[in-house]
Structure 1
Amino acid sequence: MIDQLWEWLVIAGALAVVLVGLVVGFLRPGRRGRTPTLPPTSTPPPTQPIPAQPTPADPGGGVDTLPPRGTPPETDESDVLLEEPVTPTLERPETAVGRLQRLRARLARSNTALGKGLLALLTRGGLDDAAWEEVEDTLLAADLGIDATNELVEQLRTEVKVHGTSDEATVRGWLRTDLLRLVDPGMNRALASARVDGRPAVVLVVGVNGTGKTTTVGKLARVLVAEDKDVLLGAADTFRAAAADQLETWGARVGVPTVRSHKDGADPAAVAFDAVKAGIELEADVVLLDTAGRLHNKANLMDELGKIKRVVEKQSPIDEVLLVLDATTGQNGLRQAEVFAQVVGITGIVLTKLDGTAKGGIVVAVQRKLGVPVKLVGLGEGPDDLAPFDPEAFVDAILA
């Protein structure tokens, strides 16, 4: 009996030892159920200013809001370390001063037929009627227009007759003077880009399909940003879904907000109205309104353009109406220009693709047709290849 009792005591003692060992092992570090040791926390990085980046507006077409400028949330012991926020770098556009000078080589190459052709004809001596007809043909092929061509040829014939010389330097001087007179450096080519009576300048950009209006508006925004202007874009081309996206992208690259609608088929006049309203509220220097391309012979589309102008003018005058023309269309673009001028009152011309054509005479032709100046020219595909038009640089490039 005593032996059995002793045997039970030994077994009970062994079990107690095993149980204690299990409890101790379970509570040792490294096992599930322990209280974790927290890593040391660090001081959050200082808040960095976030540049203006347009974000989609509300469906009604209001001003795109900018990302909030706040402080990082407070951290507790369970937070991971915060990373330094990524700050997008805004582009700083090239200044517009001297752009046309930089691009003169492209212009000279495209207008070789006009400049070199005329010089070759006028300096070969013995100019008879057939030779003068060749001069006329060269000028007409360059889209100078009939009236301007007749005027220039008559002036050159008089100079040759009076001075009786075919010296290239002398003839080049005559050509420069006469061409510059036709291009008319006295026209006011200043662009409305400053606040007027406490409101922003409003610029409406119009034209037919395919002339590059949206790209031109984006490039024009860069020109103005380079001049330290506060710009706001209005995406009133609501027919092409990609047009507003494209314009918004142009603006985002230089920190310019865009007013747009995310509704399919939204009223372009309403978007334009909202953009001007936002420009007034934000105290912008200038509001650029992009419009859909439209054929000049489609009455309903032209009427809609007139409506945009009327709606905008209910809250602000329109200071500038720029017609974008493709220089490669030549004389075909003049009829388009006439119709747009009748509907919205053109104040200036933007000639795109001028580097891709030998028809530099279109500058003279369109100015004479509309009585308004060429204010800007597009001379390439680069973002800064839009330049204020400089008559003297233009003529010098032709005769280079």
Structure 2
Amino acid sequence: MTSARPAAEPLAYPFAAEKLNLAPLYERLRREEPLARVQLPYGEPAWLATRYEDARLVLGDPRFSRAAAVGRDAPRVRPYAPGPGTISTFDPPEHSRLRRLVTKAFTVRQIDRMRSRVQQIADELVDAIRAEGAPADLVEDFALPLPITVICELLGVPFEDRGDFRLWSEAFLSTTKYTLEEIKGYRALLRDYMAGLVAERRTAPQDDLLSSLVAARDNDDRLSEDELLSLAESILIAGHETTATQIANFLYVLLTRPEHLAALRADLDQVPQAVEELLRFTPLGSGSLQPRYAVEDVEVGGVTVRAGEPVVVAINSANRDESVYTGPDQLDLRRHEATHIGFGHGPHHCLGAPLARMELRIALRTLLERLPGLRLADAEQDVEWKVGVSTRGVRRLPVTWEVR
């Protein structure tokens, strides 16, 4: 075990990388310095866990706390720090209490019940794409409206307001796109909007998740008003933004690897396994940048993390760990190895993972079935990318296909 504190200056983090590539530095760190000292754009320095087993330890071990970050100048990529009362800042048992309130909406059984409706939405979007004709922007015409429609119907948010909460979501994820004052303003608008929906559900409950949360607040006293609003906001943002980004990114990965695309199109029964490999292979952001603070001294990657020190997890690096995966930097749509941690691990494992998996599977299969010869409409280098936000992804993805 190494207990000496590092003398070198912390590495600037996140590491620079273009498009969906990973910085080569991750490989060196996994090999030589699996727990490295880093400095994020905001907050105090942190340890960075880059190996698979170390990542699972930090994400799943109760000796690492999310709640301990509240009130600290926590390491972060965005200019603001989450305040108390959001589900991401709780540890069990408080975290478990809030999570149980929404678990029923995301069980495998409930997701199976939603499958036909999600397929219907996907088919209607493709119908519109085919009717309009090529080229189509798969981000605006498919990747975004699919999960937005699903989460609106599940939570109980009017679909016609999607333009507003898309803007608010983008501000929530902003690293440099918006100023701190702009972010605070958009967050206030989101809070007012959600408070208005809650007030409507109090007078006219509906068959949706928001009404269930209101009942849990008013009838059972199982959460505070701030917790109710924060939970609803988190579900709205996380329920569409990451899935939309993943749909577009997965399509980009496949469209720029024609041999993989052709193999998958020839055997669509492989789509579920392909989705798992794409979740492992495709970076969504810089990793789990919600820091965990050690509540006691813990050995991680041969280094002693002292009580009170924060650790951030490079999920993208952990999912490329050569000690776990064969040829980790190669896309293998038939891979059957260790479970990836693309949805996280431990108490904060993504609550909506079953829904996201189902949407991703339906999205890929529907597009490959119904848009024969799907390919990029422009040169690969002309694909537009998001800038100034914490999620890495395609902003526009023009495509064409064969008309039959």
Alignment TM-score, normalising by the size of structure 1: 0.22
- Please tell me whether Structure 1 or Structure 2 has the larger radius of gyration of its CA atoms: 1
**Bigger RCO (CA 8 Å, 6+ sep):** 2
Which one has the bigger helix percentage?
Answer: 2
Alignment TM-score, normalising by the size of structure 2: 0.22
